[in-house]
Amino acid sequence: MRSRKFIFCLCVVAGYTVALGGEKDEQICRQKFSLAVSKSLSAKPIGEVIVAVGRSFEGTPYVAHTLEKEGEEQLVINLQGLDCVTFVENSLTLSRCIKMDSTTFAAYTRELQRIRYRGGIIDGYPSRLHYFSDWIYDNQEKGIVRDISRELGGEVYPKKIEFMTQHADAYPRLSDEGVVQQIKSTESVMATRTLYFVPKDRVREVQDKIRDGDIIGITTAVEGLDISHTGLAVRSDGVVKFLHAPLSKGVVQISEESLADYLGKIRKHTGIIIARPLEPDISY
């Protein structure tokens, strides 16, 4: 009988380095695609698909640092435990595969890599989109999402983003000075962009413009950091709530309160950046 342990199978094809997950991850992936068939999700708008897929993860354990593996940078697949970013990434990836009728594990891994890495190419640790505002920017460039923060009345977010290089000792992979310099170069490029956010005291007034499945990045007062938490907007009885993988409660869940009230509970939360998923180009 084959081992049920998590196994990485590493292959390199045309610049892609892929670490395939274990049998359990492939099984979960198939289950999500079966759910899509049972609910005819492929015919629904991408936002509704993302909410359905995201909700299917409710109760999945929160697991931190799942992407931080030793050795060569590779695509880490873990559908058994999620942090706030991998929850968003996997919900978006699976939903795009469903919409494109590309419902195989191989298609899922390709799309996940495209979303997680700059330009969709793995080229060492710095090629991963570590800062979530950079993740939004790169995925907007790829036609996967659109940052709608400004059009919702967002204000300029005047933040110098340098948390990783200022806290290099907190990141094992930044023990290499060459890697630190590459991350610093990314931070310098990010500094040339103008970011917009909706301050948390204004979220309630714009909530009618937020749609199911919009990706929410919560901005923070932490010095040098752009976004400290991520999740998905979910409407319930006309109220926008927050579907996310929080450390505090340990599993993927929907907030009991509105998104606006959730933000108000935590002092360091300053507002939100909103990225709207776009319908996939089926020719891709």
- Closest by CA position to 217, among listed 250, 249, 259: 259
pLDDT in tens, 132-159: 999 999 999 999 999 999 999 999 999 9
- What residue type is assigned to position 159 of the chain? K
What CATH superfamily is the domain 9-277? Putative xylanase like domain (1.10.3670.10)
Q: What is the pLDDT of residue 22?
A: 84
Q: Is 11 exposed, middle or buried (0-12, 13-18, 19+ CB in 10 A)?
A: exposed
pLDDT in tens, 10-41: 333 333 444 546 899 999 999 999 999 999 99
Q: Quick check: 232 and 243 in contact, CB under 8 A?
A: yes
Q: What is the pLDDT of residue 268?
A: 97
- What residue type is assigned to position 198 of the chain? V
**What CA–CA distance (Å, rounded) separates 247 from 204?**
25
* Residue 3: strand, helix, or coil: coil
Per-residue pLDDT, averaged over 228-251, amounts to 95
Q: How far is residue 108 from each of residues 95, 211, 252, 280, measured CA to CA in Å?
A: 10, 25, 21, 14
pLDDT in tens, 254-267: 999 999 999 999 99
Neighbouring C-beta atoms of residue 19, cutoff 10 Å: 19
Q: How confident is the model at residue 281 (pLDDT cuts 50, 70, 90)?
A: confident
Q: How confident is the model at residue 70 (pLDDT cuts 50, 70, 90)?
A: confident
pLDDT in tens, 159-214: 999 999 999 999 999 999 999 999 999 999 999 999 999 999 999 999 999 999 99
Bin 12: left if φ > 0, else alpha if -120 < ψ < 50, else beta: beta
Q: How far is residue 12 from each of residues 47, 119, 222, 253, measured CA to CA in Å?
A: 33, 17, 38, 36
Helix, strand, coil percentages (3-state) for the chain, rounded to 5, are 40, 20, 40
Query: pTM of the predicted model, to two decimals?
Result: 0.92
pLDDT in tens, 44-63: 999 999 999 999 999 999 99
Q: Quick check: 66 and 78 in contact, CB under 8 A?
A: yes
